[in-house]
Structure 1
Amino acid sequence: MRRHRYLAAALAALVMVEAGPASARIEKPLVKIGILNDMSGPYADLGGPGSVAAARLAVEDEGGAVNGVPVEILSADHQNKADVGSAIARRWIDQDGVDVIADVPVSSVALAVQEIGRQAKRLTLMQGTSSDLTGKACSPYSTAWQDDTYAYSKATSQAVVAAGGKSWFFISADYAFGHALERDAGKFIADAGGKVVGAVRHPLNVGDMSSFLLQAQGSKADVVAFANGGADLMTSIKQANEFGLVGDGQKIVAFLLYLTDVHTLGLAVTKGLLLSEGFYWNQDDVSRAWSKRYFERTKRMPTKQQASVYASVRHYLKALRLADTLDADTVAARMREIPVDYFGHKGSVRIDGRVVYPLTLYEVKAPAESRQAWDYFKPIREIDAKDAFRPMAEGGCSLVR
């Protein structure tokens, strides 16, 4: 009996050693999260300082520290340039001790920064919307949080074709995001029985879309689709309205339309546009409660990008608390194990890094339908996560076996 007691005590001691002490074992006195995005250019309203505010809310909601180690938020402007974003990411990792890089919209920048994170074994929480981030460019250290070109192009394309929009003309941004969106949407249009009859591409922040819109108007396509975002998308919608494309019988589709775009342009210009989103501030009680807190900080309702920054940072901090180490492999594994709380909706992180959750297809309200400030979208139909996001087997990610 005595020998059994000694053996039991020895085993208990071994378990305690393997489990580690109750105090923090995180290897640094400070956890650093860098928010990298467009702070002053055409996409600043979508993320910008608002993403920093969202990240800080996430840190506060996790108590400001992880296992006794404080969390600090840094931020920088990548100016929508892959070389600028890459230089900041390398400096943060090599010199400033940043543990995680988050946000990173604009797919060309996101793809470059994700690769730097892979090489350095640092986690990246991406808001870039190119489906390539979880496809051929996937990384074991990266997760993609915002609904991507595959997800929102599928929902919107299929709905518009079903409603009679058979022929399509694309006006696309001439960089990775625009190419991926045009490619993904084109596939869904064809699958639904439609056809892409033409396309033109424009550089970032072009300022004048008239020549592209004239080509779209001349195509006589049922649908003119804007595969761009930010200031370029706003210019496209505004000038399409001035050119009278809708009056000529053409339907306008804006795949990457954000709440702030509608707020700036007004419902008279944007009414009737279709879009799909995983987050809308007025979607339900959970979204409204969080958005109210966000509004108190920023005096603006959050975009889906800013909301996803909050969700990604909070999920990372939960995984870090469980892992109790900054080792990227360990934390990345934890992030894929624990469920995602996407504002009351259940989600998960797949092995390819894609974060999946339900989407909703919305239509922009007419002015008479809006009941209060920022009340811009009305739901058309719910889309289950499995029906929205690309199956892992089709993405070409090397992590998928």
Structure 2
Amino acid sequence: MNDPQAVIVGLRKMLVVKERESADLQDRVQELTAQLQAHRAPAAVRATSNDPRLITVDDALVLQEVGIYEYHHPLENAESYKQALADLRADVRQAVKTSEAIVVAKKFSFNNSLAEGRRLTSDLSKLMLRAYNAEADNCVRTIRAGNLDTAKQRLDKAAKDIEKLGAAMQMSVSPGYHALRTKELELTADYMMKAQEEREAAREERERLREERKVEQELAAERERLEKEQAHYRAVLQRLSTSGQDTRDIEEQLVRIADAIAQNDFRAANIRAGYVYVISNIGAFGPGVVKIGLTRRLEPLDRVRELGGASVPFPFDVHAVYFSDDAVTLENELHKEFGARRLNHANLRREFFFATPEDVRQVLAKKVGNLLDYNDSPEATQYFQSKHYWPASG
């Protein structure tokens, strides 16, 4: 049976270690990251080991293991998770106040005294709780959606280590308290993921609204230009008619302008009309990746030029720009057709796919018929001009 004094010494050592870990957390993370990058192959071997004592801490490996994140406690929005966390932490504080966090033997005696035993177990329970909470707080501070399982393993290990140290006096972390702190980890990970999704959705919604405003401005400006042109030709028609000259060319121009105004008004009223485009960027994504998107802009290539801005090293190459009265449905059908080839399966709003322009052309042709203008091969002028100067790959 363990000596109580040795248990105290062991717990104090454990607490010092945990508190030092908390104080030096950022340094430890950087150090571990550097070590893992230097020893990636051994880390991959350890990640596949069945030894329960080994805990994978490489976030890249962990993310590959878990796949798409699944919520442990599905709630409506980030604010709901924030409130749930506040309620849970109130339960944690209550468990500590009512001494329900640590299981303590009722009849442990020290120096043949039950009173001394109660004082000793009371002091040890506080020390155990501080050590356990230090590890739990570390796990909460370092939690990310991808390393939740790792954090739970660390917390389970801390509870088991404390149980071993307290075995002589039948002391351990309460299962109920451990469940509360485990749930705290899950809710924290859920909250972070939901908050990230909401930030991404808000950013994309702002981008969508900016795009819609540009479309509205372009269509309004085009309507104004056409009306001015129409007024000009009407005035010319009136003068020619008065002087008895031939007005057939002017009448044809007025018919053309009226058709253009009708088309412009249709575009403004029908939010589903627009251009489906197929573009690639071999210098940024390689030869087997395309983006299939939609724009309602009056000049669709303006949108392509914006996408090829400072965020990518080379401009995009255009393979097809197809106008459709229901471009929304056409885009969705293409995305569905290539759904299994998405680059980003975690965020379906990212429209990049592992496919060649020829792959998309064949599908698009089946849906809309013959395509008069489609470029299978990317021009990629800047990419080919620059590649010669790149450093040789190892």
Bin of the TM-score, shorter chain as denominator length: under 0.3
| TM-score normalised to structure 1 length | 0.19
The structure with more strand, counted as a fraction of residues? 1
Relative contact order, higher structure (CA 8 A, sep 6+): 1
| TM-score normalised to structure 2 length | 0.19
The structure with more helix, counted as a fraction of residues? 2
- The higher radius of gyration belongs to 2
